[in-house]
Amino acid sequence: MSGSLANEKDSMEQTNDQWLWVIDDELVEALARHDTVDPKSARRSVQSAALVKALSLNMEGKTEQALREISEALEGGETLPELDWTKAHLEFQLGQYEEALRDYAKVLGQFPNHKAAVYNSALCLEKLGRFQDALDVFRKAAGIDPKLAEAPLGVGVCLLHLNFPIDALEAFDQCLHAKPGHEKALYGKAVALQLMNRTEEAKQLYLKLLPITGPNPELLSNLIGAELARGEQARAREHCEKLLRLRPNSPVALQGLMAAAVERGDFKAAAQHGAQLVKASPGSYEAWLNLGFSYQKTNRREQAGQAYAEAIKIQPDHEAAYVNLGLTLQERGDFPEARKAYQRALEIAPDQAAARWNLSIVLERLGSVADAEKCVEKVLEVEPEKEDAWFRLGYFRLVRGDYAESIEPFRNCVSKRPDWLEALVNLGLAQWKSGDLEAAKASYVQAIARHPESSDALRALAALSVEMGDHSLALDIESKLERSGDSAAELAYNIGIVLERAEMYQDAVRCYRHATEKKPDFGEALLNLGHALSALGDEQEARACWQKALDAKPELAEKYF
């Protein structure tokens, strides 16, 4: 068997949104606007004692009491527009966005272009997660008052939520044109850039904001993601540690530290961070998957298997955990269970080449060579350029004696890597066994040209030369092997036979002697050495060789006579 376990992940499972905090409601921190309804009603507003009292209570921080005061006044029949406006604003302050939206609608029923009511309605819709509706109303607010910088900010926020980062970037730039240092617009722009994979620009904006905002968990989370995306693990690690000081169990910080540890090859530290991470996020598939990977890299295979099993519980239809579990079981020598894991992965994702490749190795170890060969064929359907798969396919066919069919796989190997020694030698063997001796010779010659010291290629060509009757070539190769100290006994013996038959007795004697030097009890070589010496007239040494042959292998007596 050739090859090794394939497609082991050398980086943890990540997704683009894993690090990116979707921009949240706190981005639009502008308070609901307090514009008066109109000058005439403003002059009349002092006639409402309830309104005065409510405003006083609100200033004292008693917002709920203020809301009750306004509500009772409206229920009592007061009709001032300021009461509806104030009630809506108090409801907004208390997070009662549905109620506030209805009361802002009452104001807009009387004053359709009241810019504060329009803008605050958009804020309510944004808070309620109705981003498309909020977008439309923010745009209306921007049309009513083009100088209102918060309106394009709201537009940008909604566009981010609706996954239109390019349009969101334009909106944030519009806000920044009006207010160049607007922190929330800068933050939104950074998020938009990050979603557009312009990570370096996003990172620079985060770094610009960090000294202004101070330690900010959301900003740090996004900054960590931007740095990891750019492969800046050391910087990411620094910000992960800052984030952990703010949020000791922050999944983003722990995952960032884990990723940084994997990148620098410190899998022990990665496993420690991963163990903390699964406590903080026990329902995270990626956390368990990455913990299993870290355990696997530190040879804690039992713990790795347990981590992968937890990942499978969370996402039973995701193939990655099954592939990694299979690899762990394979490393532990549990081939039957590894086969089950790989087969389950292939049920989920039939084109998963890594699972099928490793399954072929497991099947071979279990003795199911025919099934292993079929697996390799399917791997090549998905990955036709996979060199190791072509080699193993040729190997399987060669082992089962299908020499003609093994030629094409080995030829593919050589076409991809002309200096691949093992492929060239096996190609030559397949051609030889298929009866194409000249092609086999050409393959061995190519192997020797690229690897002059390869004893395997030299022996193969020498043996082929014997069969082809090319005595001089066989003898030349045997001499090269002898000088290198790597002359095989059997090869020297076979060449000696050919030379003896050609009545080249001196050369035959030399080959037989090489064989017996390598293998002193080589009975057949001793016997034939005697025959060659006898042909040269050296009867005394010939008889001594025959006696040694009979002592080493008595059954050779028949051949002797």
pLDDT value of residue 487: 58
432 touches 465 (CB < 8 A): no
- Residue 43 pLDDT more than 70? no
Burial of 428 (0-12, 13-18, 19+ CB in 10 A): buried
- Residue 38 pLDDT more than 80? no
- Residue 245 pLDDT more than 50? yes
Range of weakest confidence among 31-45, 82-96, 252-266, 528-542: 31-45
Residue 184 burial (CB count, 10 A)? 22
393 touches 380 (CB < 8 A): yes
* Residue 351, token pair as written in the block: 């084109």
pLDDT value of residue 558: 56
Give the residue extent of every domain in the chain.
387-452, 455-561
Confidence of residue 73 (pLDDT cuts 50, 70, 90): confident
For the chain, percent of residues with pLDDT exceeding 70: 90
- Residue 28 pLDDT more than 50? no
- How many Å apart are CA 96 and CA 88, to the nearest integer? 9
Confidence of residue 108 (pLDDT cuts 50, 70, 90): very high
Phi/psi region, residue 367 (left: phi>0; alpha: psi -120 to 50; beta: rest), is: left
For the chain, percent of residues with pLDDT exceeding 90: 55
- How many Å apart are CA 213 and CA 349, to the nearest integer? 46
pLDDT in tens, 111-138: 999 988 999 999 999 999 999 999 999 9
- CB under 8 A, 24+ apart: contacts of 530-534: 531/500, 532/496, 532/500, 532/505, 532/508, 533/509
Q: Which of 166, 161, 211 is nearest to 189 (CA)?
A: 166
Confidence of residue 47 (pLDDT cuts 50, 70, 90): low
> Do the domains spanning 387-452 and 455-561 agree at the CATH topology level?
yes
pLDDT value of residue 8: 35
- How many Å apart are CA 219 and CA 208, to the nearest integer? 11
- Residue 169 pLDDT more than 90? yes
Residue 224 burial (CB count, 10 A)? 30
377 touches 360 (CB < 8 A): no
Which carries the bigger pLDDT value, residue 345 or residue 233? Answer: 345
pLDDT value of residue 493: 83
User: Mean pLDDT over all residues of the chain?
Assistant: 85
- How many Å apart are CA 423 and CA 416, to the nearest integer? 11
- How many Å apart are CA 507 and CA 501, to the nearest integer? 11
* Residue 104, token pair as written in the block: 């802002």
pLDDT in tens, 535-559: 999 999 999 999 998 888 887 765 5
Q: Which of 288, 292, 291, 320 is nearest to 305 (CA)?
A: 292
Distance linking the first and last C-alpha atoms of the chain: 45
Q: Which of 413, 41, 27 is nearest to 209 (CA)?
A: 27
pLDDT in tens, 341-369: 999 999 999 988 899 999 999 999 999 99
Q: State CA 183 to chain mean position distance.
A: 36
Percentage helix, strand, coil, to 5, in the chain? 75, 0, 25
pLDDT value of residue 477: 79
pLDDT value of residue 515: 87
Dihedral sign from CA coordinates of 222, 226, 227, 228: positive
- Residue 233 pLDDT more than 90? no
- Residue 18 pLDDT more than 80? no
Residue with tokens 């990665």: 270
Q: Which CATH superfamily is domain 455-561 in?
A: Tetratricopeptide repeat domain (1.25.40.10)
Section 449-454 average pLDDT: 88
CATH T-level assignment (fold) for domain 387-452? 1.25.40
Confidence of residue 482 (pLDDT cuts 50, 70, 90): low
pLDDT value of residue 480: 74
pLDDT value of residue 34: 46
- How many Å apart are CA 306 and CA 328, to the nearest integer? 10
pLDDT value of residue 31: 37
pLDDT in tens, 292-311: 999 999 999 999 999 999 99
Q: Which of 335, 394, 399, 324 is nearest to 362 (CA)?
A: 335
Angle CA 267–270–272, to nearest 5: 115
Nearest-10 Cα torsion for 71, 74, 80, 82: 10
- Residue 161 pLDDT more than 90? yes
- How many Å apart are CA 525 and CA 509, to the nearest integer? 10
- How many Å apart are CA 312 and CA 70, to the nearest integer? 56
Confidence of residue 41 (pLDDT cuts 50, 70, 90): very low
Section 214-230 average pLDDT: 87
Confidence of residue 231 (pLDDT cuts 50, 70, 90): confident
- How many Å apart are CA 209 and CA 121, to the nearest integer? 29
DSSP per residue, 43-110: HHGGG-HHHHHHHHHHHTT-HHHHHHHHHHHHHTT---HHHHHHHHHHHHHTT-HHHHHHHHHHHHHH
